[in-house]
Structure 1
């Protein structure tokens, strides 16, 4: 696979969530005001850097779905995305397993999920510690010809990293 054909993996931690309603389960917590502002901000950053994903996979939690919904409104056209229960508070191995299953057509695949799994996976793939505050994005170049060749033990090139407070 040539450099021009390199796949990209975009890992994102959901935007800032609201802790104000104690009656809600963790899974059902929505975004707070800052999260609602940060999600489109990060979507614009991805667009400005030519990193709009072909497909998005996100946790089924309310805050991850809201993050994705706000982001796709910024980008042109229709974008394929799926919310998956197994990404809720998932381990790095579970996240990699989800990436490996059924995304062969995606050149740029985005996963929106939770810490600590996202920070652990980003750190494992980068081969160094990567802090993933809310709405942070880590982008990796993936030279594998297929997503199912990806594993968490083989470091990838961290090509971009951004968090809302840096914009």
Structure 2
């Protein structure tokens, strides 16, 4: 059994129009919501074998806040391909994980995160399960697949879905 935990970064700050998208930090509201998520993560004693984090400032800041509440993992990898990734790119990254890893947290961006969650839950069904996967959202999925290479071959089960 494998667990996939998807977290969309918290709300970013748009006040500095000179910053590139990847360089935008969290807004005041984003930091607040990340702390709310951190408290939830601490409450459920959430841990993972590894974390795959987009290289954007807002995802790094979200992850740092979460780790300050609960030491989720000691193994964090910044993966450049997560930034602007479509769900198929994210699925490929997950399918490349070692079979020794049993649970992973992935912190990234929409629409890729929302599309990945929908794909893992309902497959190629055109009906979307989510109308919106807002910033600071946290979803945990479970699959009976023993190897990450088989992820998505059968639907995952929803374990938890938290929205600030």
How high is the TM-score relative to the length of structure 2?
A: 0.88
SS at match of 1:8: strand
Question: Which residues of 2 match residues 76-87 of structure 1 at below 5 A?
Answer: 76=71, 79-87=74-82
Corresponding residue SS for 2:139 = strand
In structure 2, runs of 5+ residues without a counterpart are 123-127
Cα deviation for residue 101 of structure 1 reads 1.8
| Partner SS for 1:56 | strand
Structure 1 residues not aligned, in runs of 5+: 1-5
Deviation at 1:35, TM superposition (A): 1.2
Change over 3 Å in CA distance of 1:79–1:154 after alignment to 2: same
Structural RMSD (CA): 1.7
For residue 23 of structure 1, the aligned residue among 18, 21, 24 is 18
Structure 2 equivalent of residue 134 of structure 1: 135
Alignment of 1:144-163 (within 5 A): 144-151=145-152, 154-163=154-163
Query: What is the deviation of 1:157?
Result: 0.5
- CA gap 1:50/1:146 in 2 versus in 1, 3 angstroms: farther
Find the counterpart in structure 1 of residue 33 from structure 2.
38
1:82-121 paired onto structure 2 within 5 Å: 82-121=77-116
CA contact (8 A) 1:12 1:111 kept: yes
Kindly indicate whether the alpha-carbon contact (under 8 Å) linking 1:51 and 1:108 is maintained by their aligned counterparts in 2. no
Distance 2:2 2:147 in 1: 9
**Would the aligned equivalents of 1:72 and 1:79 in 2 still touch at CA under 8 Å?**
no
2:125 corresponds to which residue?
A: none
Q: How many residues align?
A: 158
- Render the CA deviation track for 1:33-89: whole Å, top value 9, x for unaligned: 111122232133123224322211011111111111111111148621111111001
Match of residue 62, structure 2, among 63, 67, 83: 67
What SS does the aligned partner of 1:73 have? helix
TM-score normalised by L of structure 1: 0.87
